[in-house]
Amino acid sequence: MSKQTLAFELSKFKVFDDAKQNLEQYSTDSEIAASILWDAQMQGWIKDKSVIDLGAGTGILGIGCLLLGAKKVTFVEIDSDSINILKENLEELKEKFDITAEIVIENTDIKNIEDKTFEKADVVIQNPPFGTQEKNMDSLFLEKAMILADKVITMHKTVTKEFIDNFSAKHNFQVFRYYHYNYPLKMSLPQHKKTIEYIKVSCWLLVKD
Ligand code: SAH
C-alpha cells in the first residue's frame, strides 16, 4: 500500500457524529495520519508490532496501523459513543481487507491505566486532548503513553514544544523525529466559527533511552 492509498483509505472511515467538547474530540486529518504512520513504518515501528491507540476516538490512527501490518492494536477510549463508531469502522475494515491482527477495545478512562494492570505494547500512538478543557490532559496522556511503551508517537500543540521536549527528557525519552503541521480543525465543536480553522500541531516520535 502506498502512502497516498493509505490516506485515501483512511479518509473513508467514519468520524465523530457529535464531537464532545469536554473530551476535546477531533479526528486526525487522514493526510496527516497517513504521513505520520508512513514515516513510523519506514522506521520499523508498525509492521508486526503491538500498538496502543490511546484516546482512540473513531480509530483512524489504530486502523492505519492495522492497514500497515501491526500484529496487535489496542484501542483505549473513554467515550462509548465513539467506540460504537470505532466498531463500525473495524467491521468495514475487516470486510475490505484481510486483517489477521489481534484487536482489543478498552472502554476506559486513561486515568485507570496503571503500570501493572495494563499490558504494555511496542508503540503507543495518540492525538490526545490538548488540555484546553481539562488542564494537563496532554501531559497525563503522555505520562501514560510512556508507561505503556518505549516508543511513543504523540501529537500536541506546537506552542507546547518546550514543555513536551522537557517532559520527554525528564522521563528519559529522546526526540527521534519532530514534524509540524497546520492541522485542519473541522467545525465540529460549537465554539468553532469558521468552517475549517487551522491550528499548529506537532508530532513527536519519542524513544526511551
Ligand atoms: N485518536 C482519535 C481521536 C483524537 S481526539 C483521532 O486521532 O482521530 C481525543 C480522544 O481522546 C477523544 O476520542 C476523547 O474522547 C478521548 N479522551 C479524552 N479524554 C479521555 C480519557 N480521560 N481517557 C480516554 N480517552 C479520552
Ligand 1 center–CA 207 separation, angstroms: 22
User: Is residue 204 one of the residues assigned to a domain?
Assistant: no
Q: What confidence score (pLDDT) does residue 153 get?
A: 98
Q: What confidence score (pLDDT) does residue 191 get?
A: 65
pTM of the model: 0.95
The domain total for the chain is 1
User: Is residue 61 one of the residues assigned to a domain?
Assistant: yes
List the CATH number of the domain containing 40.
Answer: 3.40.50.150
User: Is residue 209 one of the residues assigned to a domain?
Assistant: no
Closest CA to 77 of 104, 51, 105: 105
Q: What confidence score (pLDDT) does residue 209 get?
A: 94
User: Is residue 189 one of the residues assigned to a domain?
Assistant: yes
Ligand 1 center–CA 128 separation, angstroms: 6
Amino acid, res. 77: E
| Ligand 1 atom closest to Cα of residue 55 | 11
Domain that holds residue 23: 3-199
Q: Reading across the β-sheet that carries 50-54, which strands appear in turn?
A: 102-107, 72-77, 50-54, 123-126, 151-157, 196-208, 173-186
Note down pLDDT in tens along the chain; length 209 residues: 999 999 999 999 999 988 898 999 999 999 999 999 999 999 999 999 999 999 999 999 999 999 999 999 999 999 999 999 999 999 999 999 999 999 999 999 999 998 777 899 999 999 999 988 889 999 999 999 999 999 999 999 999 999 999 999 999 999 999 999 998 876 655 666 667 788 999 999 999 99
Q: What confidence score (pLDDT) does residue 192 get?
A: 61
Is any ligand 1 atom within 6 A of the Cβ of residue 110? yes
Is any ligand 1 atom within 6 A of the Cβ of residue 129? yes
Long-range pairs, 141-147, Cβ under 8 A, ≥24: 141/54, 141/55, 141/110, 142/167, 142/168, 143/171, 144/54, 144/110, 144/113, 145/52, 145/54, 146/171, 146/173, 146/206, 146/208, 147/113, 147/115, 147/118, 147/120
User: Is residue 207 one of the residues assigned to a domain?
Assistant: no
d(CA 98, CA 8): 18
Q: What confidence score (pLDDT) does residue 154 get?
A: 98
Contacts of 29 by beta carbon, 8 Å cutoff, 6+ apart:
183, 184
User: Is residue 206 one of the residues assigned to a domain?
Assistant: no
Q: What confidence score (pLDDT) does residue 132 get?
A: 86
Q: What confidence score (pLDDT) does residue 197 get?
A: 81
Ligand 1 center–CA 102 separation, angstroms: 21
Ligand 1 center–CA 157 separation, angstroms: 15
Q: What confidence score (pLDDT) does residue 144 get?
A: 97
User: Is residue 158 one of the residues assigned to a domain?
Assistant: yes
> How far is residue 60 from each of residues 16, 110, 112, 114, 176, measured CA to CA in Å?
11, 18, 23, 25, 23
User: Is residue 192 one of the residues assigned to a domain?
Assistant: yes
